[in-house]
Amino acid sequence: MVEFKLFGIGILSWIVFLPIVGMIVVLLIPKSLTKSVKYVALMFPFIQMILCVVLWMNYDKFLPGVNTLEGFQFIEKFTWINVQALLWDGSVHIDYFLGLDGISMPMILLTSLISFVGALASFSVKKNEKGYYAMYLLLVTGMMGVFCALDFFLFFVFWEVMLLPMYFLIGIWGGKRREYAAIKFFLYTLFGSVFILVAMLALYFSSKDPATGLHTFNMLTLMDPQAIQSDSLLGGIGTNFRYLAFVALFIGFAIKVPIFPFHTWLPDAHVEAPTAISVILAGVLLKMGAYGILRISYPMFPDAAIYFIYPMAILGMINIIYGALCAMAQTDFKKLIAYSSISHMGYVILGIASTTTIGMNGAILQMFNHGTITAVLFLMVGVLYDRAHTRGLDDFGGLANKMPKYFGVTIIGFFAALGLPGLSAFISEAFVFLGGFQNETIRVITIISTLGIVLNAAYILWTTQRVFFGKLPERWGSITDINGRELLSVVPLIIIIIILGVYPAPILDLMSSSVNHLVSFVTEASGIVVGQ
């Protein structure tokens, strides 16, 4: 395998830690050059994006990854903490272990794209720019780290570190109720982390690396049933402790997705966050929960995963329908999109629950697509809010004629969110439904979930009507159309949405061999074959 190194440091480390370098640079910019802060800050996600494109060009789509070390690419593995046992069984070994496979690769691409778009959308921030961009770049590092980490401890550190900048970004640069929203987000996620931490420690003490005979945080080893000691807490198959550990992990990840009933932080956080941060939240952060389920819960607890298919699918269904119904009831544009996010993440959960190749492919594709589509929608709300200083849906009307370019871009985003054939979300949602239908256990639930499509169409068309059609209220007589910079931040996303709608292969190819491997691994390891 070709090694990708720059100045002796692996490319993944560059991608993960470049924003930290950016943060330091931004903080060192003298006061007299405050105006240049945003351009300097933009440079780092841009370089990061270029590096991600390099990764993409060199990615071998046939390698499966998941639980095989040789299936991972761009691996970087160094000993981070190594304390030898002295008097008793107290040795600790933690690795700095990064690598990519078909599950993380699409997420890396998405993160770099959304980070760049978000940095571009941040140009409207006027208050304390230095602090803003420093926090923003720290956030990007956290996100990238979560998707690259293959050591559970490292994963957890990145997972938590991300919370700090998010708290400040919502709390300082947010809207009226920002303090409430920020602390709610923080406490909710930290509450979830508690359960992840418990499960992580239980896994650690239940495992022994066959090679070294020590407990391990290495995710790949933890996925190996041989490495889990049969006489330990999590030993055996289908024991109560394994189910409990799975549920603990699931709660931790569900809060991030968010899955009903842990979703209440999301509308608050979205509404109060500044535009760029809403974009990041919806575009990347929500995916982390689902990613965690795919990367950690499923391969480490295949027996429990199969056992809990049914409740998971029900939660997915509730998310789809409940989210859509809530969205329909909103009068605030941003809140509407927040609830539509909940609805769309329901498809991801349904796809994951199906445990079929096609459903899982659909789920990951939906994660990617939802990232791009909601980013467009949040950016568009931001554009409107910057001009009108209100987000009330009923305050608008007839904007289609007044802002034609804006209308054009937004309507593509809307139609994509609605699942119109030819746009990206259609394919992923169809895959999810196909997968769900294939799995007999959750077939009925899948059929009920399709109702979500109708509800989806209803609130989106209704919103279109309320904002763009009808009579233009007089006070918006002087409203201006979308400008060049705003267009620049959104057009790449629109192009991706259209291309993936017509030809989803570029992303699907990345993931399919990993997904195949994951599904067969999970079904085999649990001893149950699904879909037959």
Partner 1 sequence: MQQQILNSLSNFLPEATIVITLIACLVLDLILKRKSVSVSILAITGLIVSFYFVTQQTGLKESLFCDMIVIDPYSLFFKYLFIVSTIFVIIFAESSKEIKKSVHTNEHVTLILALTLGAFLMASSINLLMMYLSLETVSIASYILAGYTKNVKRSSEASMKYVIYGAASSGIMLYAMSMLYGFTGSMNIFEISSFLAQTDSSNPVVIVSIIMVTAGFGYKISSVPFHFWTPDVYEGAPIPITTFLAVTSSAAGFAVMIRFFNITFLESFQLGLNGSWQIIGSIKWTEIIAVLSVASMVIGNFVAIWQTSLKRLLAYSSIAHSGYLMLGLVVANQMGLAAMLIYLFAYMFMNLGAFYVVIMISNKLNTDEIESMQGLAYRSPFVCAAMGIFMFSLSGIPATVGFIGKFYIFAALINSDMIWLAIIAMLNSVVSLFFYVKVLKVMYLKKPLDDAESKISYSFGYNLVLILLAVPTILFGLYFAPILKFAESSVAMFGIN
Residues 6+ apart with CB under 8 A from 196: 156, 159, 248, 249, 252, 253, 292
Q: How far apart are CA 114 and CA 108, in angstroms?
A: 10
Of 31, 33, 89, 389, the residue at the interface with partner 1 (CB under 8 A) is: 89
- Of the ranges 9-17, 192-200, 284-292, 522-530, which one interacts with partner 1 (CB under 8 A)? 192-200
Which lies closer to partner 1 via its Cβ, residue 150 or residue 497?
150
The 8-class DSSP code of residue 313 comes to: H
Which lies closer to partner 1 via its Cβ, residue 91 or residue 520?
91
Task: Give the binding-site size for partner 1 (rule: CB under 8 A).
Answer: 37
What x/- string results for residues 199 through 218 when contact with partner 1 is judged by CB under 8 A? --xx-xx-------------
- Of the ranges 63-71, 75-83, 338-346, 378-386, which one interacts with partner 1 (CB under 8 A)? 75-83
Which lies closer to partner 1 via its Cβ, residue 252 or residue 452?
252
CA distances from 406 to 71, 376, 487 (A): 44, 11, 9
Q: How many CA atoms lie within 13 A of 303 on its CB side?
A: 15
Q: How far apart are CA 230 and CA 218, in angstroms?
A: 18
Q: What is the DSSP string of 368-421?
A: HHHHHHHHHHHHHHHHHHHHHS--BGGG---HHHHSHHHHHHHHHHHHHHHT-T
Q: Is the dihedral of CA 510, 512, 513, 519 positive or negative?
A: positive
Which lies closer to partner 1 via its Cβ, residue 273 or residue 342?
273
Longest dimension (CA), the chain: 80
Q: Tell me which H or E stretch contains 216.
A: none
Tokens of 322: 């409940």
Q: How far apart are CA 93 and CA 217, in angstroms?
A: 8
Distance from the first to the final alpha carbon of the chain? 38
Minimum distance between the CB of residue 95 and partner 1, rounded to whole angstroms? 13
Q: Which amino acid is at 205?
A: F
Is residue 86 near partner 1 by the rule CB under 8 A?
A: yes
CB 395 within 8 A of CB 347: no
Which lies closer to partner 1 via its Cβ, residue 69 or residue 157?
157
Is residue 434 near partner 1 by the rule CB under 8 A?
A: no
Which lies closer to partner 1 via its Cβ, residue 156 or residue 333?
156
Minimum distance between the CB of residue 204 and partner 1, rounded to whole angstroms? 7
Minimum distance between the CB of residue 140 and partner 1, rounded to whole angstroms? 16
Which lies closer to partner 1 via its Cβ, residue 164 or residue 457?
164
Q: Is the peptide bond before 506 cis (omega within 30 degrees of 0)?
A: no
- Of the ranges 82-90, 358-366, 367-375, 512-520, which one interacts with partner 1 (CB under 8 A)? 82-90
Q: Which amino acid is at 74?
A: F
Over the range 345-364, which residues count as b (16 or more CB within 10 Å of their CB) and which as e?
bbbbbbbbbbbbbbbbbbbb
Minimum distance between the CB of residue 131 and partner 1, rounded to whole angstroms? 8
Give the distance, in angstroms, between the CA of residue 121 and the centroid of all CA atoms in the same chain. Answer: 19
Which lies closer to partner 1 via its Cβ, residue 141 or residue 330?
141
Is residue 194 near partner 1 by the rule CB under 8 A?
A: yes
- Of the ranges 190-198, 464-472, 479-487, 506-514, which one interacts with partner 1 (CB under 8 A)? 190-198
- Of the ranges 88-96, 294-302, 407-415, 482-490, which one interacts with partner 1 (CB under 8 A)? 88-96
Q: How do 92-100 and 73-83 pair as beta strands?
A: antiparallel
Q: How do 92-100 and 9-10 pair as beta strands?
A: unpaired
Minimum distance between the CB of residue 296 and partner 1, rounded to whole angstroms? 17
- Of the ranges 108-116, 198-206, 424-432, 465-473, which one interacts with partner 1 (CB under 8 A)? 198-206
Minimum distance between the CB of residue 462 and partner 1, rounded to whole angstroms? 36
Of 4, 56, 191, 462, the residue at the interface with partner 1 (CB under 8 A) is: 191
Q: How far apart are CA 487 and CA 17, in angstroms?
A: 29
User: Interior CA angle at 71 toward 201 and 356, to 5°?
Assistant: 80
Of residues 236 through 275, those in contact with partner 1 by CB under 8 A are: none
Q: How far apart are CA 228 and CA 221, in angstroms?
A: 9
- Of the ranges 76-84, 223-231, 503-511, 515-523, which one interacts with partner 1 (CB under 8 A)? 76-84
Which lies closer to partner 1 via its Cβ, residue 235 or residue 473?
235
Minimum distance between the CB of residue 30 and partner 1, rounded to whole angstroms? 14
User: Interior CA angle at 160 toward 349 and 359, to 5°?
Assistant: 15
Of 152, 186, 250, 521, the residue at the interface with partner 1 (CB under 8 A) is: 186
Q: Is the peptide bond before 258 cis (omega within 30 degrees of 0)?
A: yes
Of 21, 25, 40, 233, the residue at the interface with partner 1 (CB under 8 A) is: 233
Of residues 126 through 185, those in contact with partner 1 by CB under 8 A are: 128, 156-157, 160-161, 163-164, 167-168, 171-172, 178-179, 182-183
Which lies closer to partner 1 via its Cβ, residue 235 or residue 492?
235
Minimum distance between the CB of residue 142 and partner 1, rounded to whole angstroms? 10
Nearest alpha-carbon partner for 430 in 377, 358, 368: 358
Which lies closer to partner 1 via its Cβ, residue 166 or residue 494?
166
Kindly list the residues in this chain that would bind partner 1 in the complex (CB under 8 A). Answer: 80-83, 86-90, 92, 128, 156-157, 160-161, 163-164, 167-168, 171-172, 178-179, 182-183, 186-187, 190-191, 194, 197-198, 201-202, 204-205, 233
